[in-house]
Amino acid sequence: MHSAKKESAMADQIFDRSHAVYVKHVPCKGRGLFANVPFKIGDVIDRAPTWEFDTKTAILFRRTGLFQYYFVRDDLGEKAALVAGYVVFGFISIVNHSSNPNAQTIWSDGDAGASATIVAIRDIKVGEEITHRYKNISDYPSTIKFVE
């Protein structure tokens, strides 16, 4: 029985990344995600389930604040005609844009739907903001200015 408790505790440590990042306000950007631990190239920062939506729903999103929180993929192939974007749950939805990012979003599809994983593409120091490159900048209204 002791072994089962030990294995359960190990699994919790392996999959619980909540201590690894934190959210704070970034001037001119809003909320941002920051490293609470150092990340090395290739480290998984967060993995999150998603909800995919079609073009009709995307038109509605563009009229709301949700627009700034949905993701698009450039790896959909034939499915691109059916899927306009994804709402991503978890910390990934708070990661800000950078033209020189330190992380990237990797997509995977499974029986339960698509998942988004943010992975370090260079070493990230404690206290450093985690950023990635937005794929849909051209969809944003001209009133939104991206700050590095």
Report the C-alpha gap between 52 and 57 in whole angstroms.
10
- Residue 108 resides in a domain: yes
Q: What is the largest CA-CA distance in the chain?
A: 60
Within a domain: 146: no
Return d(Cα 91, Cα 119) in angstroms, integer.
12
- Assess if residue 8 is contained within a domain: yes
CA pair distance 36, 18, nearest whole angstrom: 9
Tens of pLDDT along 77-134?
767 677 778 888 888 888 988 889 999 999 888 888 889 999 999 999 999 999 988 7
Q: Residue 135 half-sphere exposure, CB side, CA atoms within 13 Å? A: 15
Question: Could you tell me if residue 144 is inside a domain?
Answer: no
Whether 86 maps to a domain, the answer reads: yes
Total number of domains in the chain: 1
Mean per-residue pLDDT, 44-71: 81
Q: Does residue 20 form part of some domain?
A: yes
What the block records as the tokens of 38 is 């150092």
pLDDT tens digits for 9-37?
Answer: 444 444 456 689 999 998 888 889 999 99
- pTM here is 0.76
Is 117 inside a domain boundary? Answer: yes
CATH number of the CATH domain containing 124 = 2.170.270.10
Range(s) of the domain holding residue 76:
2-139
In-domain check, residue 147: no
